[in-house]
Amino acid sequence: MKKFAPALFLLFVFGLNLYAGDPTERFRLPFRVINNLIVVKAMVNTSGDRNFILDSGVSASLIFEMEKGDSLNMKMTRPIVINGMGEGRPINATVSFGNTLQMGKLTFENHALVKLEEQLTGLSERMGVRIHGVLSLGLLSPRYVYINYDRSYLEIWNPDAFRLRRRHRRMATMPFEMIRGKPFVRIKGYYTDSASRDLKMLIDTGASHSAWLTPSGQEHLIPGPRTDTLLLGAGLSGKVMGYMTRIQKFEIARYSLRDPLIAFPTKESYSGNYKYLSRDGSLGSEFFRRFHVLFDFVNMKLYLKPNRQFKDEFRFNASGFEVLMPIMNLPYYVVGKVSKGSPAENVGLQEGDHLLQANGRNLFHMEFGEVIKLIEHAHGSKLRLVVSRNGSKHKFVFRIEGGL
């Protein structure tokens, strides 16, 4: 059995009604893709531009942390408890009403924001930029929202201004449904040539993985090789444990994606709510980054067309350790969690080691995303690291397993 370092999960369950101001007819909004996630700029009340993950897997906008001088409308608030993903306890939060949110040319008045009473640790360090919160993709309903992962932009239309163009007509279409402000689709998962299941899946652009299945979605599964139980990631309520495997393929609309990776969180990782989940699992951004995606929130249709990333292999972090960037805007990289029993642990790599070089390259001159690709995606090859620990340099050499 192989062991791997964790991925990134952003999951919680909570619903609020959101009220939007009148949009312009059509505009583009650039974004950054970090760890497969869409990061957009937005302003809250009198703040400057802040970094938010655009997340279709949540029904309310969420604030993780604020900068000095940022403010919420604290005159209209109420406390709530969020039962998020993870094995820990529920999270205390405060709902603040009457806020103004500006995203590109869209202004949302009387906007409700959920502010966590406890800081979500480790997210910004895993992203390489400070992340201030999550914006629900559902707040853009009832509009048309096109996501171009290749060129990193959103295109948003007022319903009256949208017209189906040739590029849209060439896309495959399928229905989706909105449940508590979140989009769901039905796809088919093939575990073998003769074993398949129809799956009701949440579209979750706020999760960096390709797919995960709930306990109900795991029923009748005939898995191939799989990992031991490991740390898959972290949700709002703590660590998410489970294992990973591959299935033969997913079919969505008229497209087949072969050998996708699937994570199987334990029942305990659902904070006791797995019996009430009205789905078989979720499809994350490692899945949808392979498509041009158009959400028709007016007619509840999803348009898909493969992009340049469609044939990319489904990969995961097989290095056995995380890479963190603890100081924003400074190319200072450290070792995060090291998976127990992994080659990284076996050679003596430790959490907190300062990463200096990887395969002869000086990491000080590299962007965070480049470091992640160099270290975490080097399947089937040797990794040569130079680290600093307590003022002394140490060298480590180990082979990264090819994976499942």
Greater pLDDT, 318 or 96? 96
Using alpha carbons only, give the angle 49, 67, 73 rounded to the nearest 5 degrees. Answer: 85
Is 42 strand, coil or helix?
strand
Give CB contacts under 8 A, 24+ apart, made by 140-143: 140/20, 140/106, 140/295, 140/297, 141/178, 141/297, 142/297, 142/298, 143/23, 143/297, 143/298
Model pLDDT, residue 256: 96
Model pLDDT, residue 222: 60
Q: How many CB atoms lie within 10 A of CB 374?
A: 17
Quick check: 46 pLDDT over 70?
yes
Quick check: 316 pLDDT over 80?
no
Tell me the pLDDT of the chain averaged across its residues.
Answer: 84
Which residues sit opposite 190 in a β-bridge?
196, 249
User: Of 128, 107, 122, whose CA–CA distance to 42 is shortest?
Assistant: 107
SS3 content of the chain, % helix, strand, coil (to 5): 10, 45, 45
Q: Contact at 8 Å (CB) between 302 and 146?
A: no
Q: For 104-108, 219-223, 268-272, 307-311, which range has the lowest pLDDT when averaged over its residues?
A: 219-223
Model pLDDT, residue 83: 76
Burial status of residue 159 (CB atoms within 10 A of its CB: 0-12, 13-18, 19 or more) = middle
What letter represents residue 115's amino acid?
Answer: K
CA distance 203 to 369: 24
Quick check: 103 pLDDT over 80?
yes
Sorted by sequence, the CB contacts under 8 Å of residue 305 that are 6+ apart come out as: 167, 170, 171, 172, 291, 292
Burial status of residue 337 (CB atoms within 10 A of its CB: 0-12, 13-18, 19 or more) = middle
Model pLDDT, residue 339: 81
H or E element, residue 346: helix 343-346
How confident is the model over 6-31, as a mean pLDDT? 57
Quick check: 10 pLDDT over 90?
no
Quick check: 402 pLDDT over 80?
no
For residue 304, what pLDDT band results from cuts at 50, 70 and 90?
A: very high
Q: Above pLDDT 70, what percent of the chain?
A: 85
Greater pLDDT, 321 or 241? 321
Model pLDDT, residue 15: 36
Structure tokens that stand for 324 in this block: 């963190």
Model pLDDT, residue 287: 96
Instruction: Sketch out the chain's domains with CATH numbers.
Output: 26-157 (2.40.70.10), 166-306 (2.40.70.10), 321-399 (2.30.42.10)
Tell me whether the omega of the peptide bond preceding residue 142 falls within 30 degrees of 0, making it cis: yes
**Phi, then psi, of 358 in degrees rounded to 5:** -140, 120
CA distance 171 to 294: 9
pTM for the full predicted model: 0.87
Structure tokens that stand for 164 in this block: 């189906």
How confident is the model over 33-40, as a mean pLDDT? 93
CA distance 287 to 263: 13
- Give the torsion through C-alpha atoms of 156, 159, 163, 169, to 10 deg: 70
Greater pLDDT, 185 or 22? 185
For residue 19, what pLDDT band results from cuts at 50, 70 and 90?
A: very low
How confident is the model over 284-299, as a mean pLDDT? 96
Quick check: 194 pLDDT over 80?
no
Model pLDDT, residue 14: 38
For residue 289, what pLDDT band results from cuts at 50, 70 and 90?
A: very high
Please state, in angstroms and as integers, the Cα–Cα distance from residue 258 to each residue in 111, 252, 293, 309, 357, following that order. 41, 11, 19, 13, 35
pLDDT digits over 317-343, tens only?
A: 778 888 999 998 899 999 988 888 788
Sorted by sequence, the CB contacts under 8 Å of residue 68 that are 6+ apart come out as: none
Structure tokens that stand for 170 in this block: 């060439």
Quick check: 307 pLDDT over 90?
yes
Model pLDDT, residue 17: 39
Following DSSP, what letter does each residue of 82-142 receive, concatenated?
E--SSSS--EEEEEEEEEEEEETTEEEEEEEEEEESS--TTHHHHHTS---EEEEGGGG-S
CA distance 178 to 356: 47
Model pLDDT, residue 196: 85
Quick check: 176 pLDDT over 90?
yes
